[in-house]
Amino acid sequence: MTQDLKIWIDGQLYSKDQAKISVFDHGVLYGDGVFEGIRVYDGCIFRLREHLERLWSSAHYLKLEIPMSYDGMVAALRETVRANGLKNGYIRLVVTRGIGDLGLDPRLCPRPTVFIIAAGIKMYPESDYENGLEVITVPTNRINLSAFNARVKSCNYINNIMAKMEGQLANVREAIMLNQDGFVVECTGDNVFIVKKGVLYTPPIYLGPLRGVTRDAIIELAQADGMTVKEEPFTRFEVYDADEMFLTGTAAEAIPVVKVDGRLIGKGTPGEITKKLIAKFREIVSKDGVMVD
């Protein structure tokens, strides 16, 4: 990757030092916007269609009109990745309500802002993938769906940030968030999977987790391998009693969990099903997407 990072903003590439967003942008003032995190593997933008479909759905929910076509967005993403010489890395695609004035009224913003960052990313050290994570459950609950639908990948991440800080205070890298009824929803930035007696479980979308692109890929891989996959509610009891556990996310990919709230999961080492699914995921990442060149 080139040293002089290039950022795409509203149709133009800027150097990192020159890439600016107005303080009157409602994405800055109120977190009013949507985003996608997308991976690049061996010059291939992974599952780009799924990411852009989610972006457009999130924007539609917020009555936020993306000021460019789908094909135009694909072209802008490819241009940004090429400009940064990125073969493996991470794209952050953001659409905000745009520049307006003080006040919540979205009508004050005549045109949304679009910007794209393409750079390297490293969520966890390799040792965590080899040995597994320790996580805790935190007091901050996931936002109730009646307040805001978690299917929207919103720029307002304060709920997740508060939970992340609670995990950091306990010296762990990730934290499990429950809903108001005590069901496991997701982690601060990742989806949750557990394995019990060969069956793969993950919280259903109606409980409030983000419908992760990596989550869906893992479900497809497990089903193709003949595994039973159940999207159904479960509590911390089922987590503690699980044979295996792992998390998924665009940046994290898939990573084992070996201890939750001080309790070992299974044997306290990454499980065989977890390791197999991680290996299968890594086999498809450079084949399932849009080539940059």
Q: What is the pLDDT along the chain (293 residues), one digit of tens a residue?
A: 446 899 999 999 999 999 999 999 999 999 999 999 999 999 999 999 999 999 999 999 999 999 999 999 999 999 999 999 999 999 999 999 999 999 999 999 999 999 999 999 887 899 999 999 999 999 999 999 989 998 899 999 999 999 999 999 999 999 999 999 999 999 999 999 999 999 999 999 999 999 999 999 999 999 999 999 999 999 999 999 999 999 999 999 999 999 999 999 999 999 999 999 999 999 999 888 888 88
For residues 67 and 111, the answer to whether their CB atoms sit within 8 Å is yes
Same domain, yes or no: 174 and 279: yes
Question: In this predicted structure, what is the pLDDT of residue 293?
Answer: 81
| Residue 292 domain flag | no
Residue where one domain finishes, among candidates 87, 119, 151: 119
Q: What is the CATH number of the domain that holds 92?
A: 3.30.470.10
- Which of 59, 91, 119 lies at the terminal end of a domain, its last residue? 119
Q: So what's the pLDDT on residue 202?
A: 98
pLDDT at 1: 45
- Six-digit token string for 74: 């694909």
Whether residue 99 sits in one domain with residue 40: yes
Are 66 and 55 contacting, i.e. CB atoms less than 8 angstroms apart?
Answer: yes
Tell me: do 156 and 22 sit in the same domain. no
Flag whether 213 is in a domain. Answer: yes
289 in a structural domain? no
| Residues 150 and 256 grouped into a single domain | yes
Which listed residue (122, 153, 267, 276) is catalytic?
153
Structural domain total, the chain: 2
Task: Tell me, yes or no, whether 291 lies in a domain.
Answer: no
Assess whether 50 and 186 both reside in one domain: no
Let me know whether 180 and 271 are in one domain.
Answer: yes
Strand partners, 263: 260
Q: Give pTM, 2 decimals.
A: 0.94
Cα 158 off chain centre by: 15
Give the C-alpha separation, 183 to 219, whole Å: 20
Same-domain pairing of 173 and 228: yes
Are 44 and 291 in contact by the 8 Å Cβ rule? The answer is yes
- Is residue 32 a part of any domain in this protein? yes
287 is catalytic: no
- Same domain assignment for residues 71 and 34: yes
Q: Identify the pLDDT of residue 3.
A: 63
β-pairing verdict for 133-137 and 253-260: parallel
Q: Are residues 99 and 162 in the same domain?
A: no
Same domain, 203 and 238: yes
Q: What is the DSSP string of 83-106?
A: HTT-SSEEEEEEEE--B--SSS-G
CATH number of the domain that 223 lies in?
Answer: 3.20.10.10
**pLDDT of res. 290:** 85
- 50: Cβ–Cβ under 8 A, 6 or more apart, which residues? 213, 216
Contact present, 293 and 226 (Cβ < 8 Å): no
CB 13: neighbour CB atoms within 10 A? 16
Q: Which of 68, 84, 119 is the last residue of a domain?
A: 119
Domain match, 148 and 280 both: yes
What is the per-residue pLDDT for 286? 82
Task: Residue 24: name the closest of 102, 95, 106 by CA.
Answer: 102
Same domain, 140 and 265: yes
Domain span including residue 85: 6-119
183 falls within a domain? yes
Nearest one of 207, 227, 239, 14 to 117, comparing CA atoms: 14
Give me the residue label for tokens 């080539």: 291
Domain membership of residue 41 (yes or no) is: yes
Distance CA 254, CA 176 (A): 15
Q: Is residue 214 part of a domain?
A: yes
CB-CB contact of 137 with 146 (8 Å): no
